[in-house]
Amino acid sequence: MNNREIRDLAASCGFQLAGVSGVEAAPDFGRFRDWVDRGLAGEMRYLTDHRADVRNDLAHLLPGVRSVISVGMLYNGPEPYSTEFSSPERAWISRYAWGDDYHTVVRRKLEVLAGKLMETECFRWRACVDTAPLLERSVARQAGLGWIGKNTCLINQQMGSWFFLGELLTTLELEADEPAAARCGSCTRCIEACPTDAIVPSPSGGYELDARLCISYFTIELRSAVPEAHREAVGQNVFGCDICQDVCPWNRKAPREAEAAKAELYAPPLERLAELSEAEFKKLFRETPVNRAKYNGFLRNVAIAMGNAGLPQFRAPLERLAAAPDLLVREHALWALGRLS
């Protein structure tokens, strides 16, 4: 089977991008290891513990692996970008979290792709979506899906960066595609637009993400208090951040093929979010990525957004949050009340 046939099969499974790479050591592993050793991963222990070094050898994930099929699934919908949005009474949830959990969606499509490939040849395979210990953007770049931009997102010249990535590790011997050339040029729009200056020069050249300054890290991964110095810059973001992709010129004409967002996930009212019980939170976000923030972490984020909005109508809900049993929620609600004053 040639790579064109693989791309056609991938397209029939719902993937707009597909390519093949070999299984040699990831060219970015040294850079990743240095990034981890300098502490830029913050508290994301799944990047810094024993799983860090596993990323240098795909055979840890599938013994006998010979080729990797990388795929990309578009999630850019018809809604406006966060940089076009101005409603202080509403929250912003990152675009990728407006639908069903991508881990489940992409994995199911990968399993269908594996089944179609198995119709012509018997082989062993393993589907990976985000959580497996491999450098998926590097693998996708090697497979020709795009280049890694200054904002550290994978960018495709024709389709931009609004893609979920997935990998099908196989024991098939396939011809590798050519890696994509970097085309960010002298553009620095993502760097200039980042409210927390999280995109920083890398000692090895180019740019890298200091996760400890990233709004997505603050609102999703961080389990402790958001540093007070950065709370104002979080703005209305209660889960993730899209700014560095919103301003990317390569996304200007990015196709918008995804379904419209679930009504309750696109810019929901902050007051409604502040009123959620833990049971309501779990029910509302059960099958979405938002659940990763956890209930108290999410209320922490809602409190910050209310404080940044500065609307008098938020005093009552913030006073209720300031009396919450969780110390983290109380601290941020009191900070937000101070902003209203």
Predicted confidence band of residue 24 (pLDDT cuts 50, 70, 90): confident
Q: Is the pLDDT of residue 85 over 90?
A: no
Q: What are the φ and ψ backbone dihedral angles of 254, each rounded to 5 degrees?
A: -60, 135
Determine whether domain 269-341 maps to CATH 3.40.50.
no
Q: What b/e sequence results for 19-29 when a residue is b if at least 16 CB atoms lie within 10 Å of its CB, and e otherwise?
A: bbbbbeebebb
Q: Is the pLDDT of residue 131 over 90?
A: no
Predicted model pTM: 0.95
Domain layout of the chain by residue ranges: 3-75+100-170, 269-341
Q: Mean per-residue pLDDT for 140-155? A: 98
34 is catalytic: no
Predicted confidence band of residue 66 (pLDDT cuts 50, 70, 90): very high
Q: Beta strands of the chain (E only): which ranges?
A: 17-21, 67-74, 92-93, 125-128, 147-148, 154-155, 163-170, 199-201, 207-209, 237-239
Q: Which listed residue (34, 57, 130, 326) is catalytic?
A: 130
